[in-house]
Amino acid sequence: MSEADLGQLPDAELISRAKRGETECFGQLYERYVDQIFRYVRTRVADAQDAEDLTENIFVRSYESLATYEDRGWAYSAFLYQVARNLLVDHYRQTGSVQPLEASEPLEAAEPGLEQRLTDQEEIVRIKSTMAQLPDDYQEIIRLRVLLGLPTSTAAEWMDRSEGAARVLLHRALKALRQELET
């Protein structure tokens, strides 16, 4: 089966085939989700190289646990997200502290003029600093929905909540962020 054909298969079929030893099927899952998982990790880790290393470890762990993986009706990306969260907890334990959000390097963006970049950078630092003061669930839903642009359904699965609960959480989180920014 060609790579293009594999790309059309649903996650459940790719997982089933990968469990039977078809490693190219896991490769397809990797290709499908690596950018999304990296972007999530990158919002949690200040150093880009650390984020790359952690992302690699997430996929290694998920491959190693493939034999025991059971489809529970959730997207495979939700499983990868849980692996990522667990690995990040381990990372924070090893490094001794959680990296403050405001200390992280900005994600790559388009190149505006110098003055605009400086203004934007100041605003980003201000928002990151304010966001770091919000409860963890608020930070998480903002990361998933706003920074990563995940659909509500995916963010809800990743956080093990209903879509309605995720929408309410995002609304409350953004309201709290706005209130903090206005003070």
CATH number, domain with residue 136: 1.10.10.10
Mean pLDDT value of segment 103-131? 65
DSSP 9: S
Phi, psi (degrees; rounded to nearest 5) at 109: -140, 175
Question: Is pLDDT above 60 for 110?
Answer: no
Q: 37 pLDDT exceeds 70? A: yes
Q: 145 and 69 share a domain?
A: no
Q: What is the mean pLDDT of residues 63-70?
A: 90
User: What share of the chain has pLDDT > 70, as a percent?
Assistant: 84
Number of compact structural domains in the chain: 2
Is residue 106 in a domain? no
Whether 88 and 7 map to the same domain: the answer is yes
- The mean of the pLDDT values for the chain is 84
CATH number for the domain including 5?
1.10.1740.10
pLDDT band at 26 (very low <50, low <70, confident <90, very high): very high
Phi and psi dihedrals of 93, rounded to 5? -65, -40
Structural domain of 143: 111-183
Instruction: Report yes or no on 83 lying in a domain.
Output: yes
With respect to residue 105, please indicate whether it lies within any of the assigned structural domains.
Answer: no
Q: Do residues 62 and 83 touch, judged by C-beta distance below 8 A? A: yes
pLDDT, tens only, 82-93: 999 999 988 888
More reliable by pLDDT, 132 or 114: 132
Sequence-ordered strand ranges (E) for 18-87: none
Per-residue pLDDT at 103: 47
